[in-house]
């Protein structure tokens, strides 16, 4: 067993928008409170940085206890919205998941549409839906309930040593924010997180689901939405790929998806015990 230290924590109130750094995460069985609570929707599909890189230029702050969501953009006035629980119901599909959504109203839709230059809506989940990921590597989350717009599992984790190692091969170093993770830890070797089974302490316990597979989103500047040239994707493709039979997407991997065994709180500076398995594909 090894021990890691929690260095940074982030939530992403609206999927695709900028991260909000926090000191503590409240982790429930259904995920992190305040994380990916909302999504931008267009014609029945989710809009994230893959669909529109410029959403990365929008900052978001959310207070779960009051439902107050604040959005800001350098070229537009700040907009404040109170979460609506009685809005119009919309039907949606996200990959293979089918879900019911609550529309957050015309005012915030108008603000987002003006910023992005396209007609979009803001939605949240009306009720839990069932994850549909019939892939062997994702068996721990397939069929489980979900209420937030996280890509695979309810918590994601990165290792600072892995980023440091990756940066030695890049044309220009990148920050951890490119990978849009919830937890950054230090104290283990590069990419050792991929072979972990559990991260736990007296307050919370998280189990490894899979390494996170990556796409063009990681080339996006998480402040401006621009995509500066870099060999980031090429490096991951050449040096850090899943075995063909274990891929559910690109196969390029960085970071870990975790599921919640024991809900609780996790704070910057906390220690987590790491249990592992022999190195091999994950």
Tell me which of 74, 98, 128 is where a domain ends: 128
**Domain count along the chain:** 2
Name beta bridge partners: 9: 22, 183
What helix, strand, coil percent values describe the chain, rounded to 5? 20, 40, 40
pLDDT in tens, the chain (282 residues): 899 999 999 999 999 999 999 999 999 999 999 999 999 999 888 999 999 999 999 999 999 999 999 999 999 999 999 999 988 999 888 888 889 999 999 999 999 999 999 999 999 999 999 888 888 888 889 888 999 999 889 999 999 999 999 999 999 999 999 999 999 999 999 999 999 999 999 999 999 999 999 999 999 999 999 999 999 999 999 988 777 666 676 788 999 999 999 999 999 999 999 998 644 444
Residue 13 DSSP symbol: S
Q: Are residues 42 and 17 in the same domain?
A: no
Do residues 69 and 152 both lie within one domain? no
Residue 159, helix vs strand vs coil: strand
Residue 97 located in a structural domain: yes
Q: Identify the bridge partners of residue 275 per DSSP, sorted by sequence position.
A: 198
Q: Which domain holds residue 62?
A: 37-128
Of the candidates 128, 163, 182, which is a domain's last residue? Answer: 128
How are beta strands 183-186 and 155-159 bridged, if at all? Answer: parallel
Cβ contacts of 47-54, under 8 Å, gap ≥ 24: 47/16, 47/116, 47/120, 48/15, 48/16, 48/217, 49/16, 49/217, 49/220, 49/225, 50/215, 50/216, 50/217, 52/16, 52/116, 52/118, 53/220, 53/225, 53/226, 53/227, 54/116, 54/225
End-to-end Cα spacing for the chain: 19
267 shares a domain with 204: yes
Q: For residue 281, is it within any domain?
A: no
CATH of the domain at 272: 2.40.33.20
């Amino acid at each position: 067993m090894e021990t890691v230290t929690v260095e940074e924590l982030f939530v992403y109130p609206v999927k695709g928008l900028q991260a909000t750094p926090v000191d503590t995460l409240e982790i429930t069985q259904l995920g992190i409170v305040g994380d990916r609570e909302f999504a931008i929707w267009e014609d029945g599909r989710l809009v994230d940085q893959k669909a529109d890189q410029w959403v990365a230029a929008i900052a978001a702050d959310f207070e779960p206890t009051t439902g107050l969501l604040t959005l800001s953009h350098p070229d537009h006035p700040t907009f404040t919205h109170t979460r609506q629980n009685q809005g119009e119901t919309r039907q949606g599909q996200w990959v293979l998941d089918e879900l019911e959504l609550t529309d957050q109203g015309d005012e915030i839709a108008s603000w987002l549409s003006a910023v992005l230059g396209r007609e979009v809506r803001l939605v949240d989940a009306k009720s839990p839906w069932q994850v549909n990921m019939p892939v062997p590597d994702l068996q721990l989350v397939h069929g489980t309930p979900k209420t937030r717009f996280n890509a695979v599992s309810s918590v994601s984790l990165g290792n600072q040593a892995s980023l440091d190692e990756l940066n030695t091969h890049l044309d220009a170093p990148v920050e951890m924010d490119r990978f849009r993770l919830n937890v950054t830890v230090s104290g283990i070797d590069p990419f050792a997180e991929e072979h972990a089974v559990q991260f736990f302490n007296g307050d919370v316990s998280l189990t490894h689901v899979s390494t996170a597979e990556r796409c063009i989103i990681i080339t996006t500047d998480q402040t401006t939405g621009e995509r500066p040239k870099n060999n980031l994707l090429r490096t991951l493709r050449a040096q850090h790929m899943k075995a063909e039979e274990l891929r559910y997407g690109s196969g390029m991997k960085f970071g870990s998806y975790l599921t919640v065994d024991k809900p609780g709180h996790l704070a910057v500076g906390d220690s987590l015990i790491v249990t592992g398995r022999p190195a091999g594909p994950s």
